[in-house]
Structure 1
Amino acid sequence: MYSYLLSVIPPMLLGAQCVLLLILLKGNICPGQRGRIHKQLPIIAILWLAISPLFWPLASVSVLIFVFFSQVKVSKTRESGPIWLLQLALGFAIAFILFFIIGSERPQGLFILAGMMFLGASFSHVLLLLARTRLQAFHRLLPVVGIVAAMLVSLAILWQTQYYSLNYLHKIIWSLAGCFMLVLAGIVGSTWHLFTNQTIQKLPPICGFMMSFAAMVGFAALLY
């Protein structure tokens, strides 16, 4: 019944995993920031576990992340821990997303890829804010990635609508318009600090992520 969520949540989690793993491997972060990033990993693991009833192999990603989390410190630490577990979890996640894309029509495949960028960038941005990182480059780069990805999402939605009758489109037109408005509102929330040239605060990006997530779930429910 809720299988359309597989087009939204797993790509989002994969995108966030990519960002966090990149930071843990390549980021110039202090021991305190590393520990705080470690604290965010259970959030991703819990979400993988929550979506796994729709496709049980997804639970394997959650297990690997939890095992990694059990081996690392969440206070100040310079140790990366058994990072190969996160790499393995990322490999599993990529394999599952590719499986979903291969089994989908082309517009849905584009929707999944765009969602990985759009929600992945927004969700990872929120996690970095919760971790109180001082990686200013990511606070600028991730919102820009979200803007580009939102364009791809719009393209995927317009492509998918070509397969539906005019009668069905008339029924869902206002719902689609509402989802597009949520996308725009989500982008505003995520980029507010860039346009106002102010110090970034947690609330606007969090609200932006929530609206972006609601929009993507709405699109998936209506069209996929």
Structure 2
Amino acid sequence: MPSLYATLFVSLVSCSALAFLVLMLVLHKGELCPGQTGRIQRQLSTLVSFITLAGLSGFESQQATWLVGLVFASALIGWVLTFKINKLKHKRSLNINLWWLMGMPLLLAATVVLLQHSIGIFSFIACAAAIAHWLMVKAKHRLTSFDKLLPFAGLAAAMCSLVAVCIYLVLNQTLLEQADTVKHFVVMSSLLLLATLLWLFPQLKKTAPPAPLLLAVAFISFISSLKLQALHV
């Protein structure tokens, strides 16, 4: 079983990178007023915190030096951009392309990590979508279509994740003979389904999703991704 720091590194890098892509898609393609753009950019500082934690986890788990270096480079650039945007007036924002300076080393590191843990990509997508949705709601966005799109994207990713893991376990029968594997699979799938149901609840009630609920969804999805790695996949 991989160490806690190693699993944290994989999940934090992957989920942060994918959430970054979602937010950049919103910033580039969403019909945002200057105030919304500024608020969403300020939420990227939360991702910078996650990236920093990823770098520290990578250092503790003795990941490849160049890989940890990419993550720390992304975090450093992110903190610089966070400082710059916090110096601006409330409705002002940075040039969107500047955030790609933070994103490129992170995305490169995430590509390497995802290639090594490809079985978990759908789980990471679900978690990243939840994180991005949480940050958008915190930023008081007005893109109501994303309030509908992201939960269903998360549902699709969660279902694909469960199917992929089931296929993997069927193809590796020796894993099914281990009690710990079955235990981790049950916990992982239960958490992922719980997160998805919570995420869809506002849709069923036809209400706006509250930020605390989305934080819970993101956290539960993240724990599920950690449990997935404990399956020796």
Give the aligned partner of residue 50 of structure 1.
53
Give the aligned partner of residue 36 of structure 1.
39
Aligned to 1:23, which of 26, 29, 40?
26
Q: 2: distance between equivalents of 1:15 and 1:153?
A: 15
Q: Is the 8 A contact 2:138 2:211 kept in 1?
A: yes
Q: Give the TM-score, by structure 1 length.
A: 0.86
Question: What pairs with 1:44-123 in structure 2 (closer than 5 Å)?
Answer: 44-53=47-56, 54=58, 55=63, 56-57=68-69, 58-72=71-85, 73=88, 75-77=90-92, 79=93, 81-102=94-115, 104=116, 108-111=117-120, 113-123=121-131
Give the aligned partner of residue 6 of structure 2.
3
Identity of aligned residues (%): 21
Change (3 A) 1:6 1:134: same
Q: Is the 8 A contact 1:11 1:115 kept in 2?
A: no
After superposing on structure 2, the runs of 4+ consecutive aligned residues of structure 1 that deviate more than 6 Å are none
Q: Is the 8 A contact 1:16 1:121 kept in 2?
A: yes
Q: Is residue 173 of structure 1 aligned with residue 164 of structure 2? A: no
Give the aligned partner of residue 206 of structure 1.
215
Instruction: Structure 1 unaligned segments of length 5 or more: list them.
Output: none
Q: Is the 8 A contact 1:38 1:74 kept in 2?
A: no
Instruction: Structure 2 unaligned segments of length 5 or more: list them.
Output: none
Deviation at 1:173, TM superposition (A): 1.6
Q: 2: distance between equivalents of 1:9 and 1:142?
A: 19
Deviation at 1:87, TM superposition (A): 1.5
Q: Is the 8 A contact 1:8 1:115 kept in 2?
A: no
- Matched residue count: 217
Deviation at 1:166, TM superposition (A): 5.2
Deviation at 1:118, TM superposition (A): 0.9
Give the aligned partner of residue 135 of structure 1.
143
> For 1:182-204, what per-residue CA distance to the aligned partner results, in whole angstroms no more than 9, with x for missing partners?
11110011111112222322233
Give the aligned partner of residue 157 of structure 2.
149
Deviation at 1:174, TM superposition (A): 2.9
Aligned-partner residue type, residue 118 of structure 2: G
Give the aligned partner of residue 219 of structure 1.
228
Aligned-partner residue type, residue 110 of structure 1: I
Aligned-partner residue type, residue 133 of structure 1: H
Q: Which moved more, 1:199-208 or 1:187-196?
A: 199-208
